[in-house]
Structure 1
Amino acid sequence: MANFWWGQSEGRKRTHWKSWDSMCTLKCLGGMGFQDLEVFNEALLGRQAWRLTTCTNSLLNPVMKAKYYRNSDFLGAYLGYGGSFSWRSIWGSKALVKEGVLWRVGNGRNINIWTDPWICDDEGRFATSVPSLEITKVNELIIPEDMSWDHELIQTHFNDRDTRGILAIPLSSRAPPNEPTWAFAKNDMYNVKSAYMLGKGLGVVGRDSAGSVLFAATKRIKAWWVVEIAEAKAMVWALSLGARFGYNKAIIETDCQTIVSRLSTEACYSTDLDLILGDAMALCSSYDSLRWSHVKRDGNSVAHNLAKLIPPNSEQIWENYVPPNIAPYVLMDYLVFPEVWTALLAKIHSPVEVLRGPNSRIWHVELVKVVEDTRSNMCFDIGWQNFVNENHLVDGELMIIYYAGNITFYVRVFSSTMVERFDTIEPFPRDEDI
């Protein structure tokens, strides 16, 4: 796309005077207003996810339900393993769809008062009152004889904001089934434009040198920030969370090279971005050791998917835990080997290893050394993400890796119930075959 815009002749690339992120910035903020293709593609996939949610009589819905979510609806479906590329793509847009779905109350059954989005105003789509164990479903708030709200019960259990929102919802005397609607469209139907606007947020994940998650956090704010400012805001939030949880040594990773360069040289100017970077520099005093590092966008997948996990105008923080929907992306990062393997693997001169797994297939991965303080570990890096993706590995599964020499590793995978995954069976070689 960038080559098409800036042009090229006789195989020679021309200078790209502006980054693609800058060109995707809104025109009113100095950009060209081009669509962020990754977010736009997710918004388009969201349309298919919306059809699986609302068009239960379509030909596609019963097929997908029978294979991927027999005991729930699409919004409650898990990714699982062994799914097709189409299913994984559509499932990946589910978080975006959940950010805009709003339940239209019919009979009120099956709508959870405290966890489902059904009260909509400028403050959000969820009930904000303190949850009560006495009532759980919306139909318990309805007088069935005349299909009207139970004013006394509502005023007892809900705050003023929720009470106003509930009493503003009209009820039909026919008590029709509840229906999912799109909160950001006048006709209540999903549209790509509004979904595209929802596709951005802040995501932060903190991990130790072994890759274990120390904390994870996500925040959605309705703001028209350019990419650099959003990344800087996430970095400031990461620094404040690290100090809050008592960590005094950190390596801050981001896929924005501009921010890394500015912070590494402590260059500060008079732009909006520098205003936020000044906040990051002010937080440096909370750390004994701090380093800035640039990573490729693929290496920042956990934070990017965290940023889309919750609805707008909300915030969620987890300590020593990662949400189930994000766990597969954690597995996609590099695999660190135990210390006892480091000496053995350090003798291998080839940086590219071979993983043999499902159906005798071969994956090429890069073996790199990671140095943390005085310790060094060996780990799989580039190529490891492809192995995780194509084998649909999920959190809680056991993986046995056998080094067979000749830069070859054999891999077997067991489910959380210790049953071997048949799609990943690859017989280990006999000693005489090595």
Structure 2
Amino acid sequence: MRGWKEKMLSSPGKEVLIKAVAQSLPTYMMSIFLLAKGIIYELHSAMAKFWWGSSEEHHKIHWLRWEKLCRPKAMGGMGFRDMRVFNQALLAKQIWRLMKQTNSLVARIMKARYFKNDSICVWSDAWLPGPSSSHVPTPLANANMHLMVSDLIDPNKNCSNVNMLAQNLTMEDIQAVYEIPISDRRPEDKRYWWPKGDGMFSAKIIWDQSEFKEIVLMASATSCAERVSWVIHRLDQHSGAIFLAMAWVWTLHNKRLFEDKPPSPPQILHGLSRMVMDYREYAKCVYVRPLISTLPSSNHWCPPPINWVKVNTDAVVFENGEIGLGMVGRNEHGSIIAVSCMLITANWAPKLAEAAAARFGLDVAGRMGMHQVLLESDAQKLIIAFRNRRPSRCSWGLITEDVIYKLDSFESSNVSHVKRGGYIVAHLAARICSMPREEVIYVTNFPQTFLELAAFDMQ
């Protein structure tokens, strides 16, 4: 940067040079090594001296700390990078790649050298569901301190080993273990990023958790226009329109109160209409409809194609910690050919319960010898995940992968979304089971309530 001092750059020129050159040059090095605090300090000091025009002969006053210059411009800063946080984000991204791409050359070399045993330890790894990444169980007095998580699973029944849990874990931790779904395929253990819902790591999360997040959320702008812009960017489309309407009325109120300029009714109507129209044009460019709204869905039950079976599934989360799973299989005529339900004890989120219901329904369909299956559910995000056929690292990712695996096992399969009015029969099936861990299945002599609801769907 010293080679540019004779150029007498303006402030915008210095800003571009710092962001495009000074803060970009060490990116590759910071993605490999954790820089010492002294080096970070020297980098910040060199950029600050260049920004304020200091040199070896002349030392100028730094009117703001570098930490404040790293704030967004709307907060009074210049938007420069905090190199310490940026270094941590890049290294975290490399660690995530090593865990995700286990077959890469670098991952295999690192594993052979530093972590040969990649099994998850019960007492040192964070594997229990909880509010943070440091939730580990508490061992009992006579617990096995070399216990692995795989030892807590019964390989024959593919469920939790009750005896091993009772011998090593407290009752509170045992209840947390029961909340973890177990995959039918017994895949390798995977790590997921708990702050995000999809379980995938991103460097942006590291920045969001830095010291500047609270400042961005709490700070205010300097002028009225900046304050309005600040509020608009933090409201949804409907709330933004209401806010602008109130701002226009308040402006007219102030003109009447302080400038003694009473507006006429046409002026009020014209100004309000113009503001709403301008905001609608702005909203078209800013607010983008999410992918979920583009998913085709039906308001009522529709018959499947000829020789296909539509499998409707649903889950009901009860207040006593039990979850009811239900499935209904129906042919192209709307006739019921199978009804099954099961009651399990688990403290699962609704999305995880819906994924388990879909897996349960396909499992019943496979055991009954169905070949062409159309899976239908009211859970939009799950249906999108089934269609995309992409692996997921979220809390319900293993169950989603089980569903995709089961869909591929049929001769033909597809998925569809239905709204609340199209799965009332499956919803009833999820509610009727009363015995935990016992599957109830009807292939003949269906209860009269199911037949009546199915006939109502066909009307």
Considering the TM-score relative to the shorter chain, is it more than 0.5?
A: no
